[in-house]
Amino acid sequence: MTDTAVKKSAESVKMPENGKKKHLSWQVIACVCLVAVSVVLNVIAWKSTAFCDWYTAHVFPIWENTYGRLTSLLPFSFGELLIAVAVFGIPLSLVAMLVLVIVRKGKRKKTAKIFGLVYMWIVTFVVTVQTFNCFVIYHCSSFAELNGIPTEQHTRTELEALGNKLVTEINALSKEVERDSEGKFVLTADLDKTAQEAMRGLGSEFKNLGGFYVTPKAIKCSFFMSQMNLMGIYFPFSMEANYNQDMYKAKLPDTICHELAHTKGYIQEDEANFIAFMACDRSDNADYRYSGYLAALGEVRNKIFDYASDDKKIEFDSSICDEVWADMEANWDYWRSVDEAKDTVFDSEAVGEISDKAMEKSLKLNGVEDGKQSYGRMVDLMLNYFKDKGEL
């Protein structure tokens, strides 16, 4: 065999049958790069609070002002649509893939490759968006640190003083809102512009709360949200603040402000609770002010009842007016009705338990060691804020 023949023989081994070298698809390279960037960002986020603060102040708003603006134009929750596609589309696509692989005997590899690329992009999208819009901002400085609010231990006397302050305010506000024939709250305010204005108004005092706000969206399948014990949800895949439209209406304004706080990078639940209260408290709308105080009163009341004697509990509850009690009990009645609902697609108790465990796991994986108990830390923020302002 000549040297030329040997070279040609070697080349034929290196080349595939179609005469072209095999290269990694640009799509594979793109996905690998995006996942790699996400991994690096997560590692940096766990190591550097300063980086997370910079990212939340300068990079995170880009997603809200671009992608968030686009999804806000839609008259429905894009996030809910994405969930529906994931829940129904992915299983159906797996069935379709199996059928096509069996039927298209001569194109099985091509079919598998197409579906494989689709699933690869889905995984990449989930990992990347969760990192950019959620995971990194979990490791920022606390709201108190960013905004110069002291962090101190408080006495029971101070906690009770805060409780009395809230009761005084909400008793007065309860006379300003509309009520039906049964004495229950009637919502008259809008659930988008007023919420956006209330939140935007905090921008002059607190960091990262000014500028554009996405449009809050109601979830069509809100009963399923209720089964999961959810009043609202920030959906990072659509940059939306979604809310449960079935729940008791007096809780809606505060809930919407809470979810809007998440879209500004305040992902911790206690901080979003505090921000929502502040936004509602400073709103010109009575419905919003009342909703904010109703939510805050529930948190503070729980803290007081953690240690209070029976006499103290009776004394505190007796100071709350009948109108407020009507709304508190109506809210509790709603959640009981969800738990007791029959002939539902999914069992409420099972769904609620799964949702609670998933939320607990998610919070702890992102560094929130006390899980759902962190929600109650809103009371500490309120105590520190009002004491610092000389209002306690």
Q: What are the tokens at 41? A: 């960002």
Q: Given this model, what pLDDT does residue 373 score?
A: 44
What's the angle, vertex CA 340, arms to CA 336 and CA 344, rounded to 5? 125
- Of 57-61, 96-100, 312-316, 341-345, the range with the lowest mean pLDDT is 341-345
Give the integer Cα–Cα distance in Å for 290 and 189.
12
Burial call 356-380: b when 16+ CB within 10 Å, e when fewer: eeebeeebeebebeebeebbbbbbb
Give the integer Cα–Cα distance in Å for 12 and 67.
49
- Of the candidates 337, 362, 82, the residue with the CA atom closest to the CA atom of residue 223: 337
Tell me the one-letter amino acid at 13: V
Q: Given this model, what pLDDT does residue 10 score?
A: 47
Place of tokens 């738990």: 339
Q: Given this model, what pLDDT does residue 22 score?
A: 55
- What's CA 40's distance to the chain center, in Å? 23
Residue 372 DSSP code: G
- Average pLDDT value for the chain: 88
Q: What are the tokens at 243? A: 């809310």
Q: Which residue has the higher pLDDT, 290 or 361?
A: 290
User: What tens digit of pLDDT does each residue of 290-329 get?
Assistant: 999 999 999 999 999 999 999 999 999 999 999 999 999 9
Confidence category of residue 12, pLDDT binned at 50, 70, 90: very low
Q: What is the mean pLDDT of residues 19-29?
A: 71
Place of tokens 């999961």: 228
Contacts of 65 (CB under 8 A, 6+ apart): 211, 212
Domain ranges of the chain: 22-139, 145-388
